[in-house]
Amino acid sequence: MNRLFFIDFARFLAIFFVTSFHVARFIGVNNMHSFGKIFKNAFITGGWLGCCLFFLISGYCLCKVYDEKKSYFDFLKKRLIKILPAYYIAIIIWYFLVKMGIAPKPIGISAILSHIFLVHTFDNANFYSLSGVFWFLGVLFNFYLIFPLLYKLQKNTKYGLEISTIIIFVIAVWASVHFHIKGSVYNKSILINLPCFVFGMTLYKRPILEFFKNKYFKLLLLVITLVLLIFAKSKGFIGTMIDLLAIIESLLIGSLCFLYKEELEKLPVLLKDGITKVAVASYSIYLYNYIFYATRPVYRNSTMVFIYILLVFGFGFCMYKIIEQPINKLRIRLKQ
């Protein structure tokens, strides 16, 4: 697939949100006194926001690469071949890291097998086992399973998929609030993340944002997004663990990346190259996002947040070069 810089920019934002959130939690948010409130609120509290944005990107990219002529199992096989090898190696590495005492995580046979078969997101006990970020892969696999059906529904109906998604999401949130559902199995499931994934598909398939291409509407959307990022917090929001604000923010950021794609192309070449390199390695950066647990920081302050973000990015980029890139090259060679 030819690279699209606005998608790479969205990937960069997503992995930055995820990494900064995890690092800040490790360092301790209360230790970051020198951070301006604006920066801390906008970029340090967006863990789920980053994952929501990744789901949106996945919906867009799957539409771009999907071949309707291929069978369902061919589609699924291609997707799994793309993500599983690096993921399985990460499982092995994290198993030994946890055994060495790097991070306190469940690593029993149940945890390992559930991750191997990508069913760990159906069990609260294993949802965050081995490595806390692996839950995303389980939910993403669920989206792979249903994507051809979603694509067909979107193709054959006028806004049928979008309307269905809104109805399903509203019912899912209502159920969470009404029945006081607290487990991650439900509150981070495909039911909850469906709007992000489907909106990514919609960005690719429908001209719904044409109305907002006016520069004044684009600017208004940008201001609204920044205000939400900086000033709006979702603690206790309608009494549910579902971070509705993160979902809304991811939809806005995805829209802005799409609307400002021409402006993004005009960024300085060196800056674009750096963003693209991080985006290319974002999967490996995500898989090893908790690598900072291998260290014992002497200081816990704002400066360490920046250092640790760079550490995670650097380690993830190395793992991309050592593991993911050779696997991708081998996969392409075998395909040819």
Residue 82 has a pLDDT of 92
Query: Residue 73: pLDDT above 90?
Result: yes
Alpha carbon distance 11, 3 (integer Å): 12
- Which pLDDT score, from 0 to 100, does residue 203 have? 93
**DSSP codes joined into one string, 256-296:** HHHHTHHHHHTS-HHHHHHHHHHHHTHHHHHHTTTGGGG--
Q: Supply the pLDDT for residue 237.
A: 45
Say what the pLDDT of residue 53 is: 97
Higher-pLDDT residue of 238, 212: 212
Least confident of 1-5, 86-90, 286-290: 1-5
pTM score, whole prediction: 0.94
Percent of the chain with pLDDT over 70: 92
What does the block give as tokens for 305? 């947040």
Domain boundaries, the chain: 5-335
Q: What is the mean pLDDT of the chain?
A: 90
Burial class (CB in 10 A: 0-12, 13-18, 19+), 62: buried
Q: Which residues contact 89 (CB under 8 A, 6 or more apart)?
A: 323
Q: Above 50 in pLDDT, residue 238?
A: no
Give the tokens for residue 319: 């793992």
DSSP state at residue 118: T
> Is 77 in contact with 66 (CB distance < 8 Å)?
no
149-199: pLDDT as tens digits? 999 999 999 899 999 999 999 999 999 988 888 889 999 999 999 999 999
pLDDT tens for residues 6-25?
999 999 999 999 998 898 88
pLDDT digits (tens, 9 = 90+) for 309-333: 999 999 999 999 999 999 999 988 8
- Is it the case that residue 211 has pLDDT exceeding 60? yes
The answer, yes or no, to whether residue 135 has pLDDT greater than 50, is yes
Q: What is the pLDDT of residue 215?
A: 86
Report the alpha-carbon distance of residue 287 to residue 159 in Å, rounded.
35
154's tokens: 């979107």
Sign of the Cα pseudo-torsion (142, 147, 150, 154, in order): positive
Q: 232 or 275: whose pLDDT is higher?
A: 275
Contacts of 9 (CB under 8 A, 6+ apart): 257, 264, 275, 279
Q: Compute the distance between CA of residue 71 and CA of residue 14 in angstroms, rounded to an integer.
A: 31
Total residue length of the chain: 336
Mean pLDDT computed over 211-230:
88
Of 14-23, 82-91, 231-240, 253-262, which gets the smallest average pLDDT? Answer: 231-240
With 80 as the cut, is the pLDDT of residue 235 above it? no
d(CA 324, CA 286): 12
Which residues 6+ apart lie within 8 Å of 193 measured at CB? 51, 52, 55, 139, 143, 247
Q: Residue 290, class by beta-carbon neighbours within 10 Å (0-12 exposed, 13-18 middle, 19+ buried)?
A: buried
Task: Specify the residue for token string 């029993």.
Answer: 108
> Residue 29: which of 20, 10, 249, 225 has the closest Cα?
20
139, 190 contact by CB (below 8 A): yes
For residue range 256-308, list pLDDT tens digits in order: 999 999 999 999 999 999 999 999 999 999 999 999 998 877 777 778 888 89
